Structure 1
Amino acid sequence: MELVNLDQVTGNQHFERIYLEAFPASERIALTDLQDLSDENINIHLSQLEQAGEVCGLAVHYALPGEKGFLLYFAMDSRLRGQGLGTQALALFKQIYPSGIILECELVGEAAENEELRQARYRFYLRNGLSDSGTISENMGGRYHLMRSTAQITPLEYQEAARNFEIKTTLL
């Protein structure tokens, strides 16, 4: 598994397709805005995940001080799911950010239309060594569990990282 940082995401067919398929419009930041934010802030990374030279996923992540990171967007190509690539990608992020990664996972138990999918994602993160921080984040019209790989990375650091994407969050 390899992480390839992209200078340009607009016009990148693989990145755009995975991004549009994986995230509902209400949760997406326009690709042009992501590009501008990345161009202005060296800690914002727009990356694609590759396995044997083939694009298999994407990540939009923020490097926090102390070898910590926030994964704003993390998705694998839906055509390649079930092959262990998501597990490999998370392991890679744990190497890149050894002091901890933090990410959002849709809140479970809300009887949402996609409740089964939410439960599967939540279990996926738990199986891969992330734990629920016990903090809920509200932003962009949604509520999310804050999942993290270590207790060293805090919800306040998540909030700091989210501000760099111009996302207003409320912690519950």
Structure 2
Amino acid sequence: MAEPPRPPGGGGAGGEGLGRSRGGLTSKLHLSADGRCRPLSLLVTGGQRADCTHFNAVLERIRVPRIGPGSPRTKPDSLAADMAYSNGPCREYLRRRGIRHIIPETTDSQTARLRTASRGGRPPCFDEDRYKKRNTVERAINRLKQSRAVATRYDKRGYVLLGTATVAALVIWLRA
């Protein structure tokens, strides 16, 4: 019998989405959400994986079908994220794809930019009103956790957890 395909970025324990963290073997669900707290893309990795390392993979999985003919949308209009994503590679990826973003600058990158004087460039723009909307991802996670199977995370294999979270996301989309 053939082995089921493994999701990319599974990390740890042979690509099963398991990884060591303080709580033992765990898995982590990375996602993006729209303004109405509906999940747009899901990715399961090992529990020890940092969020910013899978930033590109989560954004590249976004597929929003258009009403009528045409290929699905793959690029969001804008993005709000917290300081975990304020590193250079994440900002460069967003600039390259032409995605407007609101990510606060960390204090160490501020001091490094100011230390280089005029060569440091101008600070990234920051709109506090748009930044307040970054909690839509947290609210989307809470909506996913209304499904008991996602909240308890008894599924040990990454592709099973991804399937369970996908079904919960479909329910959210159908209710919206």
Shared fold (TM-score, shorter chain, > 0.5) = no
Which protein has the bigger strand share? Answer: 1
Higher helix content, 1 or 2: 2
Higher relative contact order (CA 8 A, sep 6+): 2
With structure 1 as the length reference, what TM-score do the two structures score? Answer: 0.29
Larger Rg: 2
